[in-house]
Amino acid sequence: MPAGRWVDPAIGCGGFASLIAAAVTVHLMLAEIRSPGDGMEIIGAIAMSGFCAGIGTTFMLLLVLLRHLLHKAVEQRSELAEVI
């Protein structure tokens, strides 16, 4: 199906980016990184990388939903042609 040719790679890239962000979050939580201040830099980095992992996962799930809707629309194309 030409319409959905780029959907699967986009889902894969979104999943890979989310996986990298989650790995960065885990690394920041487990690593003993010294902070010159009170440690808020590390907490901010952990929060933002976790946020990026969550947003990436949400984006990936949205693409899965849109792929399903695209497949349904392509299946119903002949039905729509009969109406028009």
Q: What is the mean pLDDT of residues 11-24?
A: 93
Residues above pLDDT 70, as percent of the chain? 94
Q: Does residue 2 form part of some domain? A: no
| Structural domains of the chain, count | 1
State how far the Cα of 74 lies from the Cα of 54, in Å rounded to an integer.
30
Domain range spanning residue 56?
A: 7-76
- 53 assigned to some structural domain: yes
Tokens for 66, please give them: 């849109």
Question: The tokens of 73 are what?
Answer: 């629309």
Is pTM beyond 0.85? Reply is no
Residue 81 resides in a domain: no
Task: Specify if 71 maps to a domain.
Answer: yes
Q: Taking a C-beta distance cutoff of 8 angstroms, is the pair 46, 25 a contact?
A: yes
Q: Is residue 82 part of a domain?
A: no
Q: Give kind and range of the element (H or E) at residue 84.
A: none
